[in-house]
Amino acid sequence: MKKIVVLIVMLSVAFTYAQDKKEPKLEKKGEVTLVTYYHNNGEIQQKGAFNDDGKLQGEWISFDNKGKKVALGNYENGKKVGKWFFWNGNSLSEVDYIDSKIVNVSEWDNKTNVAVNNK
């Protein structure tokens, strides 16, 4: 009997948890469908678009579960292209893609001078 009670409690907790998950938001806009995915806590996980063929298209942004940006990049017809940026703590990685292939990687941390003010 104790096992049945434990099983019922576990199932009810799992069912309640599944009910709290926020469904993706979809919006058709011209030839693309904009989509927003959410973390379990309701914060935005990713934002981007799909073309009519269902392939990733345009700018995509990813966030951690506290709303902090962790990645930004572009897709063309499902392939990574151009400069992508990845934030990880105090560092930033810039990755150049052509047809989803990495062609260059640059990394900075909070000790790297990216711009110098010559006053």
> How far apart, in whole angstroms, are the C-alpha atoms of residue 52 and residue 81?
19
Query: Which CA distances in Å does 78 have to 74, 93, 98?
Result: 9, 22, 12
Tokens standing for residue 62 = 């990813």
Tokens standing for residue 78 = 């499902």
Q: Assign a CATH topology to domain 24-109.
A: 2.20.110
pLDDT of residue 13: 46
Contact 48, 58 (CB under 8 A): yes
pTM of the model: 0.73
> How high is the mean pLDDT in each 10-residue block of the chain (119 residues)?
46 49 92 96 97 96 96 97 94 95 92 55
Domain boundaries, the chain: 24-109
pLDDT of residue 89: 87
pLDDT of residue 5: 41
pLDDT of residue 90: 87
pLDDT of residue 117: 47
